[in-house]
Structure 1
Amino acid sequence: MKLFKQLIALAFVFLLLGNQKAEASHFSSGEIYYRWAPTANDSSRYEVFVNWYRNNGGIAITQTTQVVCITSSCFPNVNVTLNRLMPPPGQASPNDNNGGWIVPGLDECANATDPSYKDLSVHKFSGFVSLPGTCGDFKFTANAICCRDVSTNLSTSPNMYLEAKLNNTLGESSSPEIQAPAGKAFCLTQPGAKPFQFIQAAIDADNDSILYRFGHPQSGVVCGPGTNIAFSAGYTVNAPFPSSTGIVIDQSTGIFTFSPNQQGSYVVKIVVEDWRFDPITLQWLNIGESVREIQIPVTANCNPASAEGPRLSLTAASNNAAIQNFTQAEVDSLKNLYNMRVFRGEDSISNGTATVHQIPIFQGYQCFDSIVSIEFNNNVRCSSVDPTDFRLIGPDGVARPVVDVETNCQFLVSRNLDLKLNQPLDVDGTYVLQIRRGNDGNTLTNECGIELSEFYTFLIPVSGCPAPTYELDGLTVEGDVNVRLDWSGNAALQDPSIIATFNSWNIYRADAGRRPFSLLKVVDDANARFFVDSFAPNGYYVDNFIYDYQVQLVYNGKGRIPSRFCSNINLRIDSAQRSDNNLPLYWNHFKCIDPSVRNYDVFNGKRDTTVPAPGISWTLQSQTTDTIANIAIPAGDSITQGTYAARVVARNVNGSSRTDSSESNWVYYYVVYYPPVIPDPPPTVGEVIIPNIITPNGDGFNDRFYIKAPLDGGAQYENISVSIFNRHGERVYQNEDFASINDENQGWNGVNNSGQELASGVYFYIIQMENPASNESQTLQGNITINTGGL
């Protein structure tokens, strides 16, 4: 069979057949094993262990030493004396004052008040021995000094004999060690009930493979050999006790599954074999064995505390728990509030029909606690514990995943579980902790294999949490290009716990009225209170779109309720109503200022190209609470001609901070002046022709901007200088020697001085040139439209 090189647990059960009462004599169970314990000067040193289990109702064990004989075919017998190990405080059996240890979990399954139940203690011995050399058949043998308890399945009750084996030809080795105590009492399984499952884990310190099997109980004297004890009729080595579902041993998990159906007391001998692969022979070799012989009663009645699976300890200080009564209406309200289908407490493990429900309340938890501890009044099998067995829902309705469970296991069972949360408790209110069936297929199982009914529920009040609040205060378009968001919050944002668990400020944006929002930016500075949404290098987006923005605080791994949303003001020109002397404007309301105190200031200004950008001196034109306004366009002359811009600022009339106002984008318009014709001008070379549109698409038509010669065939102007400006008044092209390229093949083709193509649109030109006839300079201004798509 395949041997698994891993920790394998073994569970075995002792079932009683018949109604005869077993009389206590002396020894109940025993085990022997060894550990390789070398020193710097002794590589063949071993520590040997012998444990005897005594029925506390029988004869006392008073011996202080135990003799172990080591036999082999290679060397003479070696005797070693083991000394008694005294129990530390808290582990001494109260019913055995001769050095007996408590046997934990003995009464987990059986009813301790049943007459068949026998109280046990364990007496432990250990000592060191150096082996004389290498041999393939060392035996460590020990015998009990007196007889064993009467059992149901053995025909006689002589003294107990145990032997462990060692083959050190492949190297030194420690034997497997069964971790759980060798004492357990069980009860009869009722028809239809789940079978019992019992675990006793064996580990191998050398990571050799281990295998479990039944052995034949023996009697004998030290140095052996042992003599098999005959089974009573109906019992064999591999069928030592009756079970209505048979005895199933899972070698991969070490679980014995069975259903005891007759009362009695049964002896079972467990042999744990140690196997190692020999790289020379390419075979698996048995290199050792440890032995445990146990006798455990099966009572007629089960322990009431175990019949319903693991139960919460309401008296444990670690739980700090109290029971509170809830009416059915209150339970229904909790179910709706936490979106839970079933809500069970102490009085409703088996059914939910009670009109008053007793729900455990865990007291003493504080904000940012990250571990929830639970103590039970009977053992929980550690293999049944999985983080998915637990659901923790906060008062905000958000689940806090349990990512790990510290089981604090001893002998594969535990009464204390520490639930490690993915996110600490961070909101004041009552949390609901519920035990459900997890990914492992069960809730929690006690040592007897009985599962806790699903939906067992605890309430955990939490207080002392900071309550951060924040709001998006303002939103404005900066410099006709970018959108700036400003937000603020209360003092709790500076709470050390908030700072320590801060994750981010999340900035969200959406097209106006469109949902859901999209994450725009994650700001990882806890002290950040503004963000600029940059649309550089131009204001196309703020000129043409309205965006909704909101801010969300994320700390302790969880996003909080987002702020309100605000929208940028998008100012536009009503082209249908525009005239030569009137500029009609309209915009959307800025809803983040209350309408009762909201006013709109409409500004106008002329672009001054002699000062740095934007070079606009703003003048307040009008004020309104509406979303429309008109600006008078002045008549063109040598003073008014130029580029103009308009903007709108929403303002809180009672406010004074920067967030009490929100600026729109800018819109541009132009005032063009055409000087009158001077009569009887001096002789000229003729009137030049300047195009008002170019289509630089490479089709050979209107691809270049140039100044055409006069139609009368006169000479061209000289010393031509050309400057092109965009709608912001920014110079995008300049050529002071334009005369050298002033023809239809070399003229300006709509690129800036960096060689980049300019976008389609209207641009403003200033041309300076010299009349060769009069040697006078003239300046011409006008608009040139670039249309890259052609005519």
Structure 2
Amino acid sequence: MMRKLLLGLLIISANSILASHTVGGQLTYEHDHDTFYTLKLYVVHDSKSPVPANPSVPVCITNPCAPVSSFQVTLDSVSVAGTPYSNGGVYLPGADLCVSDSSAVRYYIYYYENTVDLGPYCANITMEWEAECCRTHVDNLASISGTNNLITARLNNTLGPNSLPEYSIIELMRPICRNRVTYYDAFINEPDGDSLYFYKSPVYTGQCGIGQPMDFNAGYSVSDPVLSYDGYHLNNSTGVIDFSPIASEKRSSVGIVIEEYRFHPITRQPVLIGSFITDFVHHIVDYCSNEAEHWGFDKDTLVISCGDSIIPITFTKPVVHTTIDPTDFRLIGPNSVAVPVIDVSTTSSKVYSDRAYLKLFNPLLDSGVFALTIKTGMDGNSLTNVCGSDISDSILYIHINGRCNIGLQESTTLHDFKLYPNPASGLLTLSGIQKGSEIAIMDLRGSVLASYRHDFEKSTPHVLHIDKLQEGIYIVKVTGPYGQSSLQKLVKSSSLIQ
């Protein structure tokens, strides 16, 4: 009896250490082996009411298929990368992406994990973490005094093991600016190839097994937990959030549930195999930081090679992809001739990133410095960063590595040689070539990519298959049997129909 009492006191003490001003949390799991899973818990606090780091925390497990259906496991504190906080944990990474530290409440985060046995396979295993007290002040919840955070995850492993997807609470906690279109793209990956469904949820308070949703103040709801101009939008398939906050110096608690579905091998019907709730706070301040307002190209010298037709560029702040358009860019060469930008792409699966790739109509063929300019202004027709600020820095200089030499200055002594069509996509015809002539296709650096011999009479055209050539500009050189030669430019385009 005394042992059980001491255990209960230890559990209460552990929860009390994490009691003051809890902002939110997230509990997920990853399959280890058999019925063992690694539980992962993030707990977020604000720095207005510091609490010391705790070496471990309890998590409640309910498995209706186990001999003892309810039991507790312990998760141990694990260090994470970031700026250390004086009482343990780390300051929230990336919190100053859009706002300055002086204008927003600073948050810090603890992380706990452990690999535990969840008991027999079952269709409804529940994992819960509760903070005994107390939620920090937020504006959208009613009667928060004395309430806590209750964080839940669920598992159905009757169709096999499962690992929950990664949905970053660190990204969701990033403070934002008033009157700006805001995007959050917190999804990282889904390890099992299952289908996901995201939806808005109340945040919960209570004890393990006895949770209840928190009530909202007037003007707020599950659908619209933040005051915004056109509503609070959550993409149910991707988990991307966007809205335009109205009020400043507001903090609103939000719940997002992520459900994971897998097709049953026999019925082929979707079965819910896992879920978890992310409980977090949107903190809205009056103004973006100077760095978020005045941003643009990364000013590191960009050096590319002669003949390149793709230009990689980086930005000082992540750019929202939907605001990028080829017409935003203008590239002027050292000869004052414009090089059209025909496409812009990114390699990121997110809705924003700090890197883009410009595709040019023609490769860069001039030695020297190119000037890349971009539209600026507040007309909604320029690049916008993740903080909702239009781009302000409008020019980037690009240096060509070495001198361009495409070899077209060679004298021409073979005058009957013609090639068509030009541009070409699949078949290229060469006419006026003497028997015994050598044909070479070269890139703009003079490297021979393919060579052929014309063993027919001059009246017979030579047909080449150029399907495997990449789009771009090439040099076709024909050398006659007596040393006479001719060079012609070839444009390869995959968009043509032949």
Deviation at 1:272, TM superposition (A): 1.0
Deviation at 1:425, TM superposition (A): 4.4
Q: In the TM superposition, what whole-angstrom CA distance separates every residue of 1:355-393 from its partner, at most 9, and x where no partner exists?
A: xxxxxxx4x445456764433222234676678876656
Q: Is the 8 A contact 2:199 2:234 kept in 1?
A: no
Spell out the pairing of 1:330-729 with structure 2 (5 A cutoff): 362=302, 364-367=303-306, 372-381=311-320, 392=331, 394-395=333-334, 397=337, 399=339, 405=345, 407=347, 413-417=352-356, 425-435=364-374, 444-452=383-391, 456-467=394-405, 468=407, 469-473=409-413, 498-500=445-447, 530-531=479-480, 551-553=487-489
**Structure-1 separation of matches of 2:436 and 2:411:** 9
**Structure-2 separation of matches of 1:398 and 1:131:** 64
- Tell whether 2:164 aligns with 1:175: yes
Deviation at 1:167, TM superposition (A): 1.8
Q: Is the 8 A contact 2:324 2:344 kept in 1?
A: no
Q: Is the 8 A contact 2:196 2:237 kept in 1?
A: no
Q: What is the one-letter code of the residue matched to 1:162?
A: I
Q: Is the 8 A contact 2:165 2:190 kept in 1?
A: yes
Quote the residue 1:84 is aligned against: 77
Pair 474,270 (structure 1): closer, same or farther in 2 beyond 3 Å? closer
Q: Is the 8 A contact 1:80 1:128 kept in 2?
A: no
Q: What is the one-letter code of the residue matched to 1:245?
A: D
Quote the residue 1:72 is aligned against: 63
> SS in structure 1 opposite 2:276?
strand
Quote the residue 2:150 is aligned against: 161
**Structure-2 separation of matches of 1:300 and 1:387:** 33
Match of 2:276 among 290, 306, 309: 290
Match of 2:224 among 239, 243, 246: 239
Q: In the TM superposition, what whole-angstrom CA distance separates every residue of 1:209-243 from its partner, at most 9, and x where no partner exists?
A: 2222222222234x433233333344333332222
**Structure-2 separation of matches of 1:521 and 1:282:** 53
**Structure-2 separation of matches of 1:289 and 1:167:** 9
Pair 424,81 (structure 1): closer, same or farther in 2 beyond 3 Å? farther
- Tell whether 2:133 aligns with 1:143: no
TM-score with structure 1 setting the length: 0.47
Pair 466,98 (structure 1): closer, same or farther in 2 beyond 3 Å? same
Q: Is the 8 A contact 2:297 2:396 kept in 1?
A: no
Match of 1:56 among 34, 38, 47: 47
Q: In the TM superposition, what whole-angstrom CA distance separates every residue of 1:109-129 from its partner, at most 9, and x where no partner exists?
A: 445443xx1122322222212
> SS in structure 1 opposite 2:445?
helix
Q: What is the one-letter code of the residue matched to 1:135?
A: C
Match of 1:205 among 191, 194, 212: 191
> SS in structure 2 opposite 1:306?
helix
> SS in structure 2 opposite 1:465?
coil
Flag the structure with more relative contact order, 1 or 2, with Cα contacts below 8 A and sequence separation at least 6: 2
**Structure-2 separation of matches of 1:528 and 1:550:** 6
**Structure-1 separation of matches of 2:351 and 2:27:** 20
**Structure-1 separation of matches of 2:338 and 2:251:** 52
Q: Is the 8 A contact 2:415 2:486 kept in 1?
A: no
Deviation at 1:201, TM superposition (A): 1.9
**Structure-1 separation of matches of 2:327 and 2:71:** 54
Task: Report the structure number with the largest CA radius of gyration.
Answer: 1
Q: In the TM superposition, what whole-angstrom CA distance separates every residue of 1:681-708 from its partner, at most 9, and x where no partner exists?
A: xxxxxxxxxxxxxxxxxxxxxxxxxxxx
Q: What is the one-letter code of the residue matched to 2:195?
A: S
Spell out the pairing of 1:745-784 with structure 2 (5 A cutoff): none
- Tell whether 2:17 aligns with 1:30: no
Q: Is the 8 A contact 1:148 1:160 kept in 2?
A: yes
Quote the residue 2:176 is aligned against: 186
**Structure-1 separation of matches of 2:37 and 2:327:** 43
Q: In the TM superposition, what whole-angstrom CA distance separates every residue of 1:323-376 from its partner, at most 9, and x where no partner exists?
A: xxxxxxxxxxxxxxxxxxxxxxxxxxxxxxxxxxxxxxx4x4454567644332
Quote the residue 1:215 is aligned against: 201
Q: In the TM superposition, what whole-angstrom CA distance separates every residue of 1:389-448 from its partner, at most 9, and x where no partner exists?
A: 766565564747677755467x764334465779764430232434579xxx97644223
Match of 2:234 among 249, 258, 281: 249
Q: Is the 8 A contact 2:91 2:106 kept in 1?
A: no
Deviation at 1:288, TM superposition (A): 1.7
- Tell whether 2:125 aligns with 1:107: no
Aligned-pair identity (%): 27
Q: Which runs of 5+ in 1 are unaligned?
A: 1-23, 321-361, 488-492, 508-518, 534-548, 559-791
Quote the residue 1:274 is aligned against: 260
Deviation at 1:195, TM superposition (A): 3.6
**Structure-2 separation of matches of 1:112 and 1:366:** 41
**Structure-1 separation of matches of 2:322 and 2:65:** 43
> SS in structure 1 opposite 2:191?
coil
**Structure-1 separation of matches of 2:124 and 2:135:** 28
> SS in structure 2 opposite 1:231?
coil
Deviation at 1:289, TM superposition (A): 0.9
Pair 428,476 (structure 1): closer, same or farther in 2 beyond 3 Å? closer
Q: In the TM superposition, what whole-angstrom CA distance separates every residue of 1:636-687 from its partner, at most 9, and x where no partner exists?
A: xxxxxxxxxxxxxxxxxxxxxxxxxxxxxxxxxxxxxxxxxxxxxxxxxxxx
> SS in structure 2 opposite 1:294?
strand
Q: Is the 8 A contact 2:260 2:274 kept in 1?
A: yes
**Structure-1 separation of matches of 2:78 and 2:386:** 27
Q: Is the 8 A contact 2:197 2:237 kept in 1?
A: no
Pair 205,412 (structure 1): closer, same or farther in 2 beyond 3 Å? farther
Q: What is the one-letter code of the residue matched to 1:169?
A: T
**Structure-2 separation of matches of 1:145 and 1:64:** 17
Deviation at 1:265, TM superposition (A): 0.9
**Structure-1 separation of matches of 2:340 and 2:450:** 17
- Tell whether 2:124 aligns with 1:131: no
Q: Is the 8 A contact 1:111 1:299 kept in 2?
A: no
**Structure-1 separation of matches of 2:463 and 2:55:** 75
Q: Is the 8 A contact 2:325 2:343 kept in 1?
A: no
Deviation at 1:187, TM superposition (A): 2.4
